[in-house]
Structure 1
Amino acid sequence: MHHPSPDFEPRVYTPQRIAAVVATLASDGIPAAQALAGSELDEAALRDPGTRVSYAQTVTVLRNALALARNPTVALRAGARMHLTAYGMWGYALQSSPTFSALIEFAITYRRAIGPLADMHHDPARAPGTCSFEVLVSPDPRDPLYRFALAFTFAAHLTLARDLYGDGFGFTGLRLACPAPEHGAGVWEAWFQCPVQFGQPDNALQFDEAWCTRAPRLHDPLTHAMASESCQQFVAGLAHAGGIAAAVRRTLVEQMPWRFPSIESMARTLALEPRTLRRRLATHGTTYRSILNEVRLRLAIEYLRKTRMTTEEIAERLGYSEAANFRHAFVRWTGTSPHAYRLTCAPC
């Protein structure tokens, strides 16, 4: 069930998403310096081909956009700026794919190469005209960042599909797990020209299955193989890019559910002294408890939204000795109780 979140610390991704958001805000009269506040980036860095950014920096800019934006379409307009050329080798691999099925398989297999805001899934046997998405930058559908990520992702995919297949491509429907925005679904429906449903069991975009039989207009097997190899090498390197914080996060995910080790146990697993582990995590601006809470929160939200497990069962699964301790932690993380969260965020 659980899809591991990406490592937020490594600065390994190109800054196109940040640049798209900054440019969109600039078109609304918001200075780049305000959009980039707290990200350790400036306009010059966004123009530098050697700049690499982290998920943490991207999230900082997205939250700035949420605070600064005066237009409800900012995430949609920013995503629409993400043309095929913004994705580097990943984009070339899509463009040169020999078939639609090869394109989708590649897009999913090597999606982490582009630092996506959401993972993508496709079941060709069950729903060939549907792609589902799991937001990576926030686990909580109530978080405005969650909806921003989906708006950006869906708009980017529409631009990408039209670059690959022509302006005739369009979606037939959208589903989103997050609640509808204050202005309702009207802005979304006007943008995508299709029905949009909020508060759904999943996030998905739908399209006419006839597109599944069409190859991209510029397919080329040799170019596809070369670009695929480049993306494969990049994704393989991600496992070693996150340093100690990434190692702790991966170990927690591998050992869950049921076992959430103490920092002493984690240090032994990583062949370190506990004080060394604490010091090295501190250099990454985090702590063992913060990473453990992050993993627990993501799992708790997933269990509350997608299962019928009781609070007591979830507490046990997350390694709490008493359900009350889990309830107190969940309130501290989200501002609401597990029961209240399930009532408001369980799928319709």
Structure 2
Amino acid sequence: MGYAWGKHGVQQCFPQLTEVVEIEQAMNDENVNQIYGHFVPCSHLAILVTFAEQCGIEMAPLLRKHGLSVESVSTPGARIAAAQYAQLLLDVDSLTDDAGFWFRFGQQLDFTAYDVLGQVMLSCDTLRQAMHLLAKYYQLISCGSELVCVETDGSLSIHIYRQGDIEARASFIRSELLVSVIFNGILVALPDRGEKLRFEFDYRQPEYASLYYQYLNRNCVFSAPQSKIILPAEYLACPGLYPNPVMLKILVKQCDQLLDQLLGHRSISAQVRTQIAAIPGHYPTAISVAQKIGLSPRTLSRRLKAQGTTFQLLMNEVKTQRAVNYLQTTDLSIEEVATMVGFSDAANFRRAFVSWTGMLPSVYRSAQG
């Protein structure tokens, strides 16, 4: 699976263009940038329509409810508002009794469903380069997740951080789909079936876990502190599917401009929250965050105050959300949860959790059943 490069490949993402050189001209088109900065590709939906109907779900009426049609979501380059996409997933979810529906659907997806970012992935020289660029630009198409690429001891890990209410059904669905897309995308570049990949999930083992072990591999761990995919060193130098340095340079420039515009529309508090949450278990200082978003610490403090918040309040929000997630969806001990949210002492964590939620972490966990 993958795009064919040349004129046809370009038109998959830019159907209005007929020459590669025109992509660079289109980068200055404000309308194109706005469209790509605020919506996500319909590619997933087009594949979902076919898969859902094979499973007995009639999709045409559901699409009409959202002002869409099979033809509109199947148009190359079509995009949809992120919130509408999330609601469509929930609407489909309400029509199936198959608990493993989304995991099986994810097996139909790969990088080609990622639009411009998909072409970036397929144009890379190596798998290492593809993973770093995926993490860097993923927020262009994200509906509620952040990716962080970390290399340690020769291996590379893609950390998946789910934003918002991660206990919500939509968050879980998107997480399963994201893991499937990444797995399918890198699988074609590997000399084996990814037997040495390791998968960790920040939720309890589902009733259909056998599908995970069958499709991914036996190296699956549930109730982990953080969802991530770990690639061993020997995989990182594997060549890309369609290495194309010229195309990659053009597409990376496009993604850089789209990312700049997207971040320009995000509030300072949202940018700070993203930086704080970037690497679970590691919490940056206000000074380091200010440097990353191009502000002085004093200016950062002033702008956050103007938005009715502070760096410490945002830090507490991230830690509260993360602690609640660990208590709800994993079997980590209170001591382990304390460590993951930045406390060296469980007693201090308990006091902080009470101040955040009004109850002890053990009581909160028991109340969740």
1:301 matches 2:321? yes
Q: Secondary structure at the match of 1:179?
A: coil
Residue identity matched to 2:357:
R
Give the equivalent residue in structure 1 for 2:44: 17
Kindly state the Cα deviation for residue 123 of structure 1 after the two structures are TM-superposed. 2.0
Cα deviation 1:23-67 (Å, max 9, x = unaligned): 322221111146548644333331244643222112212222332
Query: Partners in 2 of 1:152 and 1:190 — Cα distance?
Result: 16
Give the equivalent residue in structure 1 for 2:352: 313
Give the equivalent residue in structure 2 for 1:278: none
Give the equivalent residue in structure 2 for 1:145: 170
Matching residue within 182, 197, 205 for 1:180: 205
- Given the two structures, how large is their TM-score scaled by the length of structure 2? 0.64
Give the equivalent residue in structure 1 for 2:357: 327
Q: Secondary structure at the match of 1:211?
A: helix
Residue identity matched to 2:183:
L
Residue identity matched to 2:49:
V
8 Å Cα contact 1:117/1:153 also seen in 2 = no
8 Å Cα contact 2:154/2:232 also seen in 1 = no
**223-232 or 93-102, larger mean C-alpha shift:** 93-102
Query: Partners in 2 of 1:171 and 1:63 — Cα distance?
Result: 33
8 Å Cα contact 2:116/2:251 also seen in 1 = yes
Residue identity matched to 1:85:
T
Give the equivalent residue in structure 1 for 2:306: 269
Query: Partners in 2 of 1:297 and 1:69 — Cα distance?
Result: 34
Cα deviation 1:98-156 (Å, max 9, x = unaligned): 233322221111111222553222322346143221124x443x443333222211111
**246-255 or 41-50, larger mean C-alpha shift:** 246-255
Residue identity matched to 2:352:
E
Matching residue within 122, 125, 150 for 1:98: 125
Q: Secondary structure at the match of 1:219?
A: coil
Residue identity matched to 2:236:
C
Q: 1:51 to 1:294 in 2, by over 3 A?
A: farther
Query: Partners in 1 of 2:189 and 2:122 — Cα distance?
Result: 6
1:159 matches 2:189? no
Kindly state the Cα deviation for residue 19 of structure 1 after the two structures are TM-superposed. 3.1
1:200 matches 2:200? no
Query: Partners in 2 of 1:171 and 1:45 — Cα distance?
Result: 40
Q: Secondary structure at the match of 1:121?
A: strand
Give the equivalent residue in structure 2 for 1:237: 261
Residue identity matched to 2:73:
L
Structure 1 residue runs without a partner (length 5+) = 1-9, 259-264, 271-287, 316-322, 331-336
Q: Secondary structure at the match of 2:80?
A: coil
- Given the two structures, how large is their TM-score scaled by the length of structure 1? 0.67
Give the equivalent residue in structure 2 for 1:220: 244
Query: Partners in 2 of 1:175 and 1:268 — Cα distance?
Result: 38
8 Å Cα contact 1:165/1:217 also seen in 2 = no
Q: Give the total of aligned pairs.
A: 287
Query: Partners in 2 of 1:89 and 1:174 — Cα distance?
Result: 26
**113-122 or 23-32, larger mean C-alpha shift:** 113-122
Residue identity matched to 1:57:
Q
Residue identity matched to 1:269:
A
Runs of 4+ in 1 over 6 A off after TM superposition: 254-258, 265-268, 293-297
Q: Secondary structure at the match of 1:61?
A: helix
1:44-193 equivalences under 5 Å are 44-49=71-76, 51-115=78-142, 118-126=145-153, 128-136=155-163, 138-140=164-166, 142-165=167-190, 168-170=193-195, 172-181=197-206, 183-193=207-217
Q: 1:97 to 1:84 in 2, by over 3 A?
A: same
Query: Partners in 2 of 1:344 and 1:222 — Cα distance?
Result: 56
Query: Partners in 2 of 1:294 and 1:44 — Cα distance?
Result: 43
Cα deviation 1:68-113 (Å, max 9, x = unaligned): 2222332123222223322232222222212333222211111112
Kindly state the Cα deviation for residue 295 of structure 1 after the two structures are TM-superposed. 10
| Cα-Cα RMSD | 3.9
Kindly state the Cα deviation for residue 221 of structure 1 after the two structures are TM-superposed. 1.7
Query: Partners in 1 of 2:271 and 2:160 — Cα distance?
Result: 24
8 Å Cα contact 1:21/1:75 also seen in 2 = no
Kindly state the Cα deviation for residue 266 of structure 1 after the two structures are TM-superposed. 9.2
Give the equivalent residue in structure 1 for 2:291: none
